[in-house]
Each structure stands twice: as structure tokens, then as C-alpha cells.
A and B are shown apart, each in its own frame.
Chain A
Amino acid sequence: MVMNLFYPEYEVIRNKGKCINCKICQNECANEVHNYNDKLKIMTDDSMKCVNCHRCIATCPTNALKIVKADYTFKQNSNWTKSTIEEIYKQSSSGGVLLSSMGNPNDYPVYWDKILINASQVTNPPIDSLREPMETKVFLGKKSNKISRDENGKLITKLEPQLEIAAPIMFAAMSYGSISYNAHEALAKASEQLGILYNTGEGGLHNKLYKYGKNTIVQVASGRFGVYKDYLEAGAAIEIKIGQGAKPGIGGHLPGSKIVGDISETRMIPEGSSAISPAPHHDIYSIEDLRQLIYSLKEATEYKKPIIVKVAAVHNIAAIASGIARSGADIIAIDGFRGGTGAAPTRIRDNVGIPIELALASVDQRLREEGIRGNISIIAGGSIRNSADIIKAIALGADAVYIATAALISLGCHLCRSCHLGKCNWGIATQQPELVERLDSNDGCTKLYNLITAWKNEIKEMMGGMGINSVEALKGNRLMLRGIGLNEKELEILGIKHAGE
């Protein structure tokens, strides 16, 4: 007897009255959910294959489709939930490690949603951001702790290298390979137009994108893929990737089957060769070793580029950040446990790391206590969802934020969390040419431009409401925040008062 332990997670509901058998859904679905039955002259569907990415719904000319959550149910159990049971079936039938994509979807507290923002009333007038100057530009890099003069009494104005960005928002690392060329190009173009930066991720830089170097952060990860002199020279900054919020403490393995064509060229490894990123950099076992890698990069690029060190938010993040601030790094990027990924073991994604809100607050606090906050700028990432999250992050101490999931959503991503399957119907997390071409990079660029511009305006408006006219003045200004429904320990770590206090 053939036994099927798995039932479709989603169900395709087709309104037969509206369906005109145009087969667009069939053509649009790379998961092969929809099929035209020649004999019966009707569209049929295999819901088992559906990942709920909404491509068919969005392209159906007659609105004949909807995807609903299937209501197959196990006996009600708050402990042994449907997904817990099904994961056991999957593992007991395959012996495989569960693999998922995008950020931790579980029901952990989202501290952003438990923090409220202040506004001025009477005593300190709000500012009308549409009619008065508001500064969103920030500079990332080491800040001098003292003023020094030369022998003639003139101020010494030479600064360590700084990144100048028009808004405190940058696109976080996503490698070419995890996302498509068109997605990368859209990010690069939008960054240029917005005066911000995007990040290559660890897969190297496509030679056609070198021209966006001024708006590019090039990443050096443990696999060192595509890392060589020209690549290091190409970007405005270099990021050493130590860890990623979605999968702290583990490496990556892009199978040889995905190393084809441009991906092989950009990573500088032969076609068909697996791209393995070891969990650690094997030349970094200490802060001293990290310092060595930082300075070897500074030496190779003549001290012209800030070096970013990206780490996942983990338990001892404050101590780790203190070490990084003393290692010679110019910027630290901290990635919270809700950060996205193109593929991560489910258990690690859903159980390892800590929320960015708590990590950011404790790092900023620790660096201030130690008197080294000026040594380093802080970028916070790991599920920044809107401009209010950004305001809150900056008030908790961030100099800027990284966004990636939000950027992909603006490109059409519907968060179906199936990136690791490589069949993204929206042309983002795929390398199949016919799927990639669905994403027009100019159109994507416009969407990204619109999103960041809108957020920038919202940031100005909220800052204006607080009577603050620059991002710089909001930075670390925790008096502008209040907690709602948080316990004393949480408030203590966040360094904020409760609403009403």
C-alpha cells in the first residue's frame, strides 16, 4: 500500500466560472502546480507543489485563482503542532537536515512593536519636515575622540576613511548566486540613484557591476570567493563576514550543480565545483587574528576604505563587539536572529541567536561604558521592516541599518520562503534564465528607489515630530523611546523607560 504522509500545505482554488483556460498560470509557475488537461479541456492543479508565492494569482487575467491554507488537520495539540509532526515525517523518511529560507518565522517577541516613539508638544516645537531642512545624511567610520592641532595650531582635519550615505539605510549582503543578476543590478542601480550602498555578499562581484563600485560594499567571507586585488579595490568599503543572523556559527555550501556560467566566473571557481564557506575563517581564531585580516585588507587597499566586520547577534554580542571595536575595524554590522537567508538549516534559523533590538542596545551601551563608541560605527540588521523600525534602531544607538528582506519584497518577493529551491517565480532567488528575465532591473530599481525615498520622508516626518532635525541628533537618543508591555529586565537591556514614565 502506498502511504502518503504529506498533504498539501496550500490549496489552489480555481473559480471555474472565471477561468478562461489561458494557461498563463501554467507558464508562470516554475513549480508546475498548474496543468492544462487536454482531454477534459480544463486547467488542473497539483496543490502539493504549491509554495504559495502568489505568482499565478498576480498574473491571472480574470482573477480566477486564490491560494488558501489547506485545512487538513491533525488532532488539536498545542505541543505537537502540524509542522512539528510533519518535520519528523520528513526527516524519518529522508535522514536529511531540514533546510529553509528567509528569516525566522516563529512567534518570538518583536521588540520593535513594543517600543513607542516620542513627539514634541508645547515645550519643544515639532519641525515641519516638508518646509524646514532635515538631514538624513550619515557618515560611517571611526570618529576621532579628540581635537588635535599641528605645530602651527591648525586643526588636523584628516579623518579615517568614512562612508557617506544619503540616508541611514543600506542593502545588506546577498550574493550573486543566492539572488539573480537582475536583482543584483536593481540593487546596484538603486543604490547609485539613492546615494547609498548595496553589498555583494560572498559570491564576488559580476564584472558588469564594477561600474557601481562607489555604491558597493564588497564582502570577504571565509570561502574568499572572487576575492582579489581588483575586487577589493572596486568597492567603497570591504566587509568581513564572520556571521549571519539567520545562521550564526555555521558555514555554507553552494552545491556544484549551481556553480555554472557567470556564477562560476564571479566566484572565481570552476563550473561544477562546490562552493564551501567554512564556518570560521580559518585564519581568524581570535580578535588579534581578526585585526590581522583587517590590516591586511587595509594594506592591500592603502587605508582608503573602511572595513566592516559583520557578526550575528549572539549571547555575548556586547563583549564581541567590544573586541571588534578594538580590532581596527571601522564599522560593525550586527545581524539579528530574524535576518533573512537564501538557505539555512531550519533548526539553526529558528533557534540560534538573539533579537537585534536587544543586541544593538547592549552593544551601544557597552561601547559607551568602555569609552570606545567613537572607535566604530554600528549597522543594525536582521528584520528592519519599515521606517519606524529604523527610527527605533537609530535611537537605540545604530548609525545606520541594513535591509534585505524588505528590499526583496519591493522587488516582488512574496516571502514564500522557498529560495533554496532555486525556482523563484519572481525572478529573484533563481538562476534559471526564463525566470530571471521576469525581473526587470530598471523596474526593480524604481521600486527600490521609491521604497527608500518614502522611508526617508517618513523618517524626516517622525524626526520632525520629535523636534529633531538630523539623524545624527537622534542617534542613541533613547529618551525618544518608551516600552509598552515590557518587563523590567527588557527595559533595562533596551535602556528605555516604560510608556507613562
Chain B
Amino acid sequence: MEIQSSNLHFKELNDTIKSSSDKIINIKDCIGQRYIGSGLSNKDITIEGVPGNALGSYLNGSNIIVKANVQDAVGNTMNAGNIFVHGSSGDATGYAMRGGKIYVKGNAGYRAGIHMKAYKDKLPVLVIGGAAGSFLGEYQSGGLIIVLGLGATNDPPVGFFCSTGMHGGKIYLRCNNLPIDLPSHVLGKTADESDMNDISEYISEFCDEFGLSKEEILSHNFYVLTPNLENQYNQLYINN
């Protein structure tokens, strides 16, 4: 089903998507309507134009392809599904996502991948092609965040406070320098072969979707950030 969305309020647009029996939905001329795909399952949505905040929040198994940029809180608390963004994404990309994958071709704003968590067979993956803003992976407790830094002017391609409060999961940074403000409860090291094997399929999927060369991407140095489990906040409290 094709939806010409330029004159629709978000509620009308989302009601049309939810009530449609079609699995494949094409949205044309999206002009910032919010909450597209909120809690949705089992749809393949392609969006032309720019969707509004909270695209794919609580997404529970659908594919969403956006041909342009997306705004804030894309994939908020998503549980399953895939979101491909052919442009850049706003703040809080993939907040608290538990499962599924978000691929952003361009840059991501502040607080991307914050409080991401893995659970059982669910492994959330966020790949950012360009650079990420500050607070990348803050409170991360599981899953994979990969920042490729393609076209980025900074090395590393992240802002301040990367991985602050991290207590699980992994962050991959394709760059030559570790963040200078890496907190003491996070360990940074050069990715080894086994680390790279863990992300191979996601890099492939990213390159397939956006028409990039996997070989070229992988020919560069990657760092891996993991929590330093020996230096978490232990003994902070005393019984009173």
C-alpha cells in the first residue's frame, strides 16, 4: 500500500498503517510525522521524506527503511526488527533498545545507543556510518554499537563522555585514537580477529544496504570498548 502522507496528521497516518492488511507499506512525502511504527510487528515500511521523532519506538519486529534523515529517539526501547536510515539520525538513537538493528548511513546525534541492553537471544545492534555525538553508549549494558567514522573529520568519531556508565556490551570505533576521556570503568583495546568476526555480518548488511565496500571499511583499525568489570561502582554504599 502506498500512503501519500503530506497532508496527514501523525495519528491518521499511523492508524492507516496499523489498520492496513498489507505487509508492504510505502510512505511518500513524509513531513515529520511522529511515532511511525510505534510497537508495530510484521510490516515492511519504506519512507520517503523525513519521519518525525520516535520512529519505530517499541518496534516489535518490522523492517523500516528511511530514504532520508530521521529525527530524535528513533527505535526507542525497540524489541525486534530492523531500521535502515539512508541519512543521519537525531538524538537518543536506539535509546534502551533490547533487540533488532538500527543502521544509520550518516551521523547520529547525542546519546546514541544509550542504555542499550541485550537479553537471552536478543542482541541489539546499532551501526553508525559517520560520527556520533557526545554520550555515545552511556549506561550501555549489552549489545553492539559500531561507529565507522566514514567521512568524519574527528578521530575518534565520537563526542565527549563516550561509554560513560557502561556496564555491558561492546562499542566498536573505527579510528586511530581512543577517546581521550575514556572513563576508568571502561577498557579500550585494538579489536582482534575474534572481535571483528563478531561484527562481520552487521558490516556486510550495512554495506549491502548502503552500497559501500566492506573490504575498504574493514581495512582500517578498529578499537573495542568493553566495561572494566573490576572497576565498576562497588562499595559505594554503607548500610545505615
Binding site for B on A (CB under 8 A): 87, 90-91, 94-100, 222-224, 227-229, 232, 253, 268-270, 273-274, 276, 278, 282-283, 292-293, 295-297, 299-302, 345-346, 420-421
Q: Which of the 9-residue segments B90-98, B151-159, B201-209 touches chain A?
A: B90-98
Q: Which of the 9-residue segments B23-31, B35-43, B171-179 touches chain A?
A: B35-43
Interface status of B60 (Cβ within 8 A of chain A): yes
Can you list 8 pairs linking A and B with CB atoms under 8 Å apart? A87-B240, A270-B168, A274-B232, A278-B139, A282-B115, A299-B10, A300-B58, A345-B237
- Say yes or no: A300-B57 contact (C-beta < 8 A), given A90-B240, A270-B118: yes
Return chain B residues, CB-CB under 8 Å to A295: 34-35, 54
CA distance A227 to B119 in the complex (A): 12
Q: Are A99 and B35 in contact (CB under 8 A)?
A: no
Interface status of B76 (Cβ within 8 A of chain A): yes
Q: Contacting B168 at CB < 8 Å: which of A96, A223, A273? A: A273
Q: Are A292 and B54 in contact (CB under 8 A)?
A: yes
- Say yes or no: A227-B54 contact (C-beta < 8 A), given A269-B119, A273-B168, A276-B165: no
Return chain A residues, CB-CB under 8 Å to B165: 276, 278
Q: Are A292 and B240 in contact (CB under 8 A)?
A: no
Q: Contacting B77 at CB < 8 Å: which of A94, A227, A269? A: A227
Tell me the nearest residue of chain B to A225, going by C-beta. Answer: B117
- Say yes or no: A276-B98 contact (C-beta < 8 A), given A99-B240, A300-B58: no
Tell me the nearest residue of chain B to A94, going by C-beta. Answer: B238
Interface size on B, residues (CB 8 A): 46
Give chain B nearest CB distance to A108 CB in angstroms: 18
CA distance A276 to B96 in the complex (A): 11
CA distance A403 to B136 in the complex (A): 39
Q: Are A224 and B141 in contact (CB under 8 A)?
A: no
Return chain B residues, CB-CB under 8 Å to A276: 115, 139, 141, 165, 167
Give chain A nearest CB distance to B156 CB in angstroms: 21
Beyond the given A97-B236, A297-B58, A302-B18, please list 20 additional residue pairs across the A-B interface where CB-CB is below 8 A.
Answer: A94-B235, A99-B237, A99-B240, A228-B98, A232-B58, A268-B119, A269-B117, A269-B118, A273-B168, A282-B92, A282-B115, A292-B54, A293-B54, A295-B34, A295-B35, A296-B34, A296-B76, A299-B11, A300-B39, A421-B239
Tell me the nearest residue of chain B to A98, going by C-beta. Answer: B240
Q: Contacting B236 at CB < 8 Å: which of A96, A222, A227, A292? A: A96
Tell me the chain B residues, 192-239 only, with Cβ under 8 Å from chain A: 232-233, 235-239
CA distance A90 to B240 in the complex (A): 8
- Say yes or no: A99-B14 contact (C-beta < 8 A), given A224-B115, A276-B165, A283-B73: no
Tell me the nearest residue of chain A to B168, going by C-beta. Answer: A273
CA distance A232 to B39 in the complex (A): 9
- Say yes or no: A228-B237 contact (C-beta < 8 A), given A270-B118, A282-B114, A301-B39: no
Return chain B residues, CB-CB under 8 Å to A292: 34, 53-54, 72-73
Give chain B nearest CB distance to A171 CB in angstroms: 25
- Say yes or no: A296-B240 contact (C-beta < 8 A), given A229-B79, A278-B139: no
Give chain B nearest CB distance to A292 CB in angstroms: 5
Return chain A residues, CB-CB under 8 Å to B53: 292
Q: Are A296 and B115 in contact (CB under 8 A)?
A: no
Tell me the nearest residue of chain B to A255, going by C-beta. Answer: B234
Return chain A residues, CB-CB under 8 Å to B60: 228-229
CA distance A232 to B58 in the complex (A): 9
Q: Are A283 and B95 in contact (CB under 8 A)?
A: yes
CA distance A362 to B28 in the complex (A): 48
CA distance A95 to B237 in the complex (A): 8
Interface status of B105 (Cβ within 8 A of chain A): no
Interface status of B142 (Cβ within 8 A of chain A): yes
Return chain A residues, CB-CB under 8 Å to B98: 224, 228, 268
Return chain A residues, CB-CB under 8 Å to B35: 295-296, 299-300
CA distance A47 to B64 in the complex (A): 63
Return chain B residues, CB-CB under 8 Å to A232: 39, 58
Tell me the nearest residue of chain A to B91, going by C-beta. Answer: A283
Q: Are A229 and B238 in contact (CB under 8 A)?
A: no
Give chain B nearest CB distance to A253 CB in angstroms: 7
Q: Are B238 and A97 in contact (CB under 8 A)?
A: yes
Give chain A nearest CB distance to B236 CB in angstroms: 6
Return chain B residues, CB-CB under 8 Å to A223: 96, 115
Return chain A residues, CB-CB under 8 Å to B95: 224, 282-283
Tell me the nearest residue of chain A to B15, going by C-beta. Answer: A302
Interface status of B170 (Cβ within 8 A of chain A): no
Q: Are A99 and B239 in contact (CB under 8 A)?
A: yes
Give chain B nearest CB distance to A296 CB in angstroms: 4
Tell me the nearest residue of chain A to B59, going by C-beta. Answer: A229
Tell me the nearest residue of chain A to B120, going by C-beta. Answer: A270
Tell me the nearest residue of chain B to A100, going by C-beta. Answer: B240
Give chain A nearest CB distance to B145 CB in angstroms: 15
Q: Contacting A90 at CB < 8 Å: which of B11, B34, B135, B238? A: B238
Interface status of B111 (Cβ within 8 A of chain A): yes
CA distance A268 to B77 in the complex (A): 12
Tell me the nearest residue of chain A to B135, going by C-beta. Answer: A282
CA distance A299 to B59 in the complex (A): 11
CA distance A369 to B31 in the complex (A): 37
CA distance A99 to B238 in the complex (A): 6
Return chain A residues, CB-CB under 8 Å to B120: 270
Q: Are A269 and B141 in contact (CB under 8 A)?
A: yes
Q: Are B54 and A98 in contact (CB under 8 A)?
A: no
Q: Are B57 and A296 in contact (CB under 8 A)?
A: yes
Tell me the nearest residue of chain A to B79, going by C-beta. Answer: A228
Return chain A residues, CB-CB under 8 Å to B111: 282
